[in-house]
Structure 1
Amino acid sequence: MDQKTRAARGRALLELHRTGGGFVMPNAWDPGSAVLLASEGFKAIGTTSAGIAFSLGRPDYNVRDARLSVDREEMLEVVRKIAAAVDIPVNADLEAGYGDEPADVADTIRMAIDAGAAGGNIEDTDAARGRLFDEKPAVDRIAAARGAIDAAGGGFVLNARTDAFQFRFPGDDALGIAIRRANRFIEAGADCVFVPGVTDPALVRTLAREIAGPLNIVVGLNDATAGAFELIEAGVARISVGGSIARSVMALVRRSAQELHALGTVSYARSQIPQRELNALFEAALRTRTNAGLSSTARSTAP
């Protein structure tokens, strides 16, 4: 993807956060799922590190044993393929930046930009130790990400994630920690902040009111009862679904396998998308990208 196209997608993604009304951004794990999601009219999609890891037969972000994890290069290669498969902005799940130091995070941001991502998430979780990064290093990591984006010419939406509700301990003021960190991340250059683990509308309303920037909330993470539109009404700018669609697909695969193995029946096939419909969908997507690429080449070589 050329820099002009990538930057235009980044600006379009940023504008979605600024226009008001909120938007829903589902998460893909490979080019096929990305094309399917984009075909339903979403204005942007994200990637899911969990979904990508599971599709590769790996656990999600198991930093306690790096041999089992999907490394940065593997993850960003999938991001590259997803971004190339659709013509809408793609936000990359960049986990904790693939390193503790601010320089590591800056490198990851540069690589995500090169991969064609229009934006990316950076977590404040030191998963190897099962806790949040101390606040100052967490802020420094976001500031380094911002610096890398600015040096690249902008056009990339930085979404700073705080896991204050995911890694809280007895006596912690998770709400206060989340609000304080979120505002410090915005001051350090984040365009949006992501607070997973919260779906109660009243709590979300407080977060949206007290955080001085767009708020991202995930639904489908812990339960299937939260409603995206209800949370947008509570003040959320962006709704994502993390790995929930990917995990649901895995559940279908397992149920299908269990049925086939135990009963020899294929009732699962009743819900499949017809072959002809999928062929038409993917052919149209490929033609659109090919024509866009030819048009871009023609413009760049015109006298």
Structure 2
Amino acid sequence: MTTDQATKAARFRELHERPEPLLLPNPWDAGTARLLAALGFEALATTSLGVANTAGRVRASRQEILDNCAELDRATALPVNADLENGFADDPAEAATMIEAAARAGAVGASIEDATGDRRDPIYGFGLAVDRIRAAVETAHGLPIPVVLTARAESLFYGLGDLDGTIKRLQAFEEAGADVLYAPGLRTLDEMRAVVSSVGRPVNVVMGFADPSITLEQLGEIGVRRVSIGGALSRLALKAFMDGARQMRAGRFGFVADLPPISALHEVFGPS
């Protein structure tokens, strides 16, 4: 793509500053990225779950996630936000190196979470979690092209702690300098409103686990500034795949009636 990284970075920051929420969908390869760009989305976010699904594993590797960042950056002219999980390290400085690597791969935004990746002890302690965000911010903002740093508090997603504890973490992450705040596991408008009203930075809400009746208009009205979907589109695609495969295994082929025309895909993808 001809759009340079500095232009993408400036555009990505601007998209967080307007009144209406940024819709940030999560493709997992070049094809899905181009389809989303053709639909008019303004930015993209990687999904580590989508990458893991493509690899047929529970978790993607560090290099697979970085390679995916580069693939999505090359695929369109849109800004790319990178889901970097916990930075693939416990140590704050070591985890922060993942942000620099993602920026080299073309990302202009990145998220670091307080989930450890260890099911026995899934969430970092408060002090270490804040130290990790502080190191991530220092790295993200110190790059030649600064990266928008999203800090994620994961306790609700793992069914641990309560909303007050999550808000306390988000407030500490804000004080540490995070640009965007994100708490996966918010399910209701009341929970989302409580978070938004408690912090001064843009809040990302992921709708992959929330009440699906909530609309973008409602999210905008309560002050949400960014809306993502996580690995939901990847999971949706896999469901369609499995439904079709089950039909085929049973000797039926009704699913072919719902296929998009090849010409419609070629129109987006262009010549090979």
Report TM bin, short chain.
Answer: over 0.9
**TM-score normalised by L of structure 1:** 0.85
5+ long unaligned stretches in structure 1: 62-69, 287-303
Q: Give the number of equivalent residue pairs.
A: 271
Whole-Å separation in 2 of the counterparts to 1:79 and 1:112: 7
**Structure 1 127/245 Cα, relative in aligned 2: closer, same or farther at 3 Å?**
same
Give how far 1:222 is off.
5.6
Whole-Å separation in 1 of the counterparts to 2:227 and 2:109: 15
Tell me, yes or no, if structure 1 residue 247 matches structure 2 residue 235: yes
Query: Residue 22 of structure 1 corresponds to which residue in structure 2?
Result: 21
Whole-Å separation in 1 of the counterparts to 2:22 and 2:68: 24
Identity of aligned residues (%): 34
- Secondary structure of the corresponding residue to residue 270 of structure 2: helix
Give how far 1:223 is off.
5.8
AA aligned opposite 2:255:
Y
The Cα offsets for residues 168-221 of structure 1, whole Å up to 9 and x where unpaired, read as 44xx4x211111111111121210011111131112111111112110010023
5+ long unaligned stretches in structure 2: none
- Summarize the alignment of residues 214-293 of structure 1 with structure 2, pairs less than 5 Å apart: 214-221=202-209, 224-262=212-250, 264-283=251-270
**Is residue 219–residue 228 contact of structure 1 (8 Å, CA) maintained in 2?**
no
- Summarize the alignment of residues 150-161 of structure 1 with structure 2, pairs less than 5 Å apart: 150-161=141-152
**TM-score normalised by L of structure 2:** 0.94
Rg larger for = 1
Give how far 1:157 is off.
0.8
Structure 2 residue aligned with 1:212, among 191, 200, 220?
A: 200
AA aligned opposite 2:165:
I
Give how far 1:150 is off.
2.7
Give how far 1:12 is off.
1.0
**Is residue 51–residue 64 contact of structure 2 (8 Å, CA) maintained in 1?**
no
Query: Residue 51 of structure 2 corresponds to which residue in structure 1?
Result: 52
Give how far 1:29 is off.
0.6
AA aligned opposite 1:268:
F
- Secondary structure of the corresponding residue to residue 18 of structure 1: coil
**Is residue 219–residue 227 contact of structure 1 (8 Å, CA) maintained in 2?**
no
**Is residue 187–residue 211 contact of structure 2 (8 Å, CA) maintained in 1?**
no
- Summarize the alignment of residues 108-257 of structure 1 with structure 2, pairs less than 5 Å apart: 108-128=98-118, 129-169=120-160, 172=161, 174-221=162-209, 224-257=212-245
**Structure 1 126/109 Cα, relative in aligned 2: closer, same or farther at 3 Å?**
same
